[in-house]
Amino acid sequence: MSNPNFSRRGAILAVAAILSTTSTLAFAATGSDAKPNLLSVTKDPGCGCCGAWADLAIEAGFEVEITEASDYVGMKRDAAVPENLWSCHTTRIGGYIVEGHVPFAAITQLLDQRPDISGIAVPGMPAGSPGMGGGVEATAEVIAWGGIAGDGRAFPLDG
């Protein structure tokens, strides 16, 4: 003989488990993995070269969202960018920090290789880098930091 209360309680628990799993999956899909090519750029409101870099990022196939922040030092410290690597804008993508006018090929390589580092940077605002007179294919010296890169090593990482 079956107990109708047990069956009803079992059914309610099963539905609750399904709803919980579904809502957890929906929440996870809104995270950084939901848009793996999304560059979240934080920049000073008055900086034009940051906008030029963002426009080139779109041309390179990335999605871009821009947030303006007047607190330059706070923006860098919030992202834990070492002071010697600071540039004009700070970007987040795929769990990494991308600081400054980083070439798009380096960002693609970072996301493909997924090294154990905090981020990559092009310190300062070098002429000819993407957004600083250089186009989508422009290059610049890129520095990695954190994790296996320590305080800073050339990127791509050499063994």
User: What does the mean pLDDT of the chain come to?
Assistant: 83
Residue found under tokens 């290789």: 113
The rounded distance, in Å, linking the Cα atoms of 9 and 104 is 55
Question: What is the model's pLDDT at position 6?
Answer: 44
Instruction: Compute the average pLDDT of residues 141-158.
Output: 94
Q: Minimal CA–CA distance to 70: which of 53, 45, 48, 90?
A: 45
pLDDT tens string 70-114: 999 999 999 999 999 999 999 999 999 999 999 999 999 999 999
Q: What is the pLDDT of residue 81?
A: 97
SS3 category, 30: coil
Residue 35 vs residues 102, 118, 121: alpha-carbon distances, Å: 20, 19, 22
Task: Give domain limits for the chain.
Answer: 36-153
Q: Is the pLDDT of residue 2 over 90?
A: no
Q: What was the pLDDT predicted at 21?
A: 32
Predicted pLDDT of residue 109: 96
pLDDT value at 17 more than 60: no
Cα distance between residue 49 and residue 46, in whole Å: 9
- Determine contact, residues 90/79, Cβ cutoff 8 Å: yes
60 vs 22, 105, 132, CA distance in Å?
34, 9, 16
pLDDT tens digits for range 53-67: 999 999 999 999 999
Q: Above 50 in pLDDT, residue 12?
A: no
